[in-house]
Amino acid sequence: MKRKMRFCLMKVCRLLCSALTFPLHLMEATGLFKVYKRLFPLLAYNITFSYNDKMHKTKRELFRNVAKFAAEDGTLRLLEIGCGSGANFRFYPDGCTVVCTDPNPHFESYLRMSMKANTHLTYDKFIAASGEDLRVVQDESVDVVVCTLVLCSVSSVQQVLTEARRVLRPGGAFYFLEHVVSDPSSWTYFFQHVFEPLWYYLGDGCTITRATWKDLEAAGFTELHLRHIEAPKVTLMIRPHIMGYSIK
C-alpha cells in the first residue's frame, strides 16, 4: 500500500513539475531554446571542474587500462563521443591520438582550451556530429571509443552503441561512465521521476531515468565489464552511476 501511495504521489508531483516547465516547452517549440544551447557549453565547461574533482579517483580507475588496447604497432587511436569541453583528456595515456565528436558545435572553443592544457595527447580533428550518426568515421578505424555522461541525452542509446561497435576494430574497447535510474524502492528514484521534466531542459536534453546497463547488455559486445556505483558528493538525482568497458 505504501509503495502504491508513493507511486501516485510521484505521478502527481511530476505533473506539477511538467506544468511549471510549460514555458520551456514553448521556448523549445518556437526555437527560442536554441539560445540556451549556445550558453550550455559555458555552463558545462565550468561544471566539469567540480565533477572531475569529485570523480577523479573513479575516472583514474576507469581509464587505467586504456593503453592495453593499443594497436600492434603501439599506436592508440581513441574516438570520444560527446567530448564536450574535453573533461576526460587528462586521464588518457601519453601519445594517444584523439578524435573528438559532439553534436553541439559551440563546444569547440572550450575544447581548444582543454587541448592546450593537455599537450600529452595528439588531436586529430573535431567532428560536429551526433553519436547516432558517425558516418564520417570509417569502419573499424579506432582502438577505443569513450562515452561519458552522454547516453543520458541521446535520442537512441542502441544506435549510439551500434555506431561505436562499427567504428571499433575487432578487439577494441568501448569505455563508459553514465548516471542511471536508481532502484525503484529508493527516494532517489522518486525524485528522479518528479524532476525529470525540468532536468531535461537544464541539462540540454538529459534524461535521468534511463536503465542504460540494459542497453549495454544487449549491444552485442563479446565482453562486458560493468559496475554500479554511487558517485560521491554529486546531486542526488544523478548519484547512481554505471562504469566500465565492453570489448568488441
pLDDT digits (tens, 9 = 90+) for 196-238: 999 998 888 899 999 999 999 999 999 999 999 999 888 888 9
Largest CA distance in the chain: 62
Cα distances (angstroms) measured from residue 34 to each of 84, 104, 175 = 17, 11, 30
pLDDT the model gives residue 1? 60
In this model, does residue 98 exceed pLDDT 90? yes
Contact criterion met (CB below 8 Å) for 181 and 238: no
Q: Percent of the chain having pLDDT more than 90?
A: 71
In this model, does residue 110 exceed pLDDT 70? yes
* Closest to 81 measured CA to CA, from 181, 159, 28: 159
The DSSP letter of residue 107 is G
pLDDT the model gives residue 202? 85
Which residues on neighbouring strands pair with residue 175, listed in sequence order?
146, 245
Average pLDDT over residues 66-80: 95
State the pTM of this model.
0.93
In this model, does residue 131 exceed pLDDT 70? yes
Q: How confident is the model at residue 106 (pLDDT cuts 50, 70, 90)?
A: confident
* Closest to 229 measured CA to CA, from 87, 63, 58, 60: 58
Mean pLDDT rounded to a whole number for the chain: 92
pLDDT digits (tens, 9 = 90+) for 26-56: 888 887 777 777 888 888 888 888 888 899 9
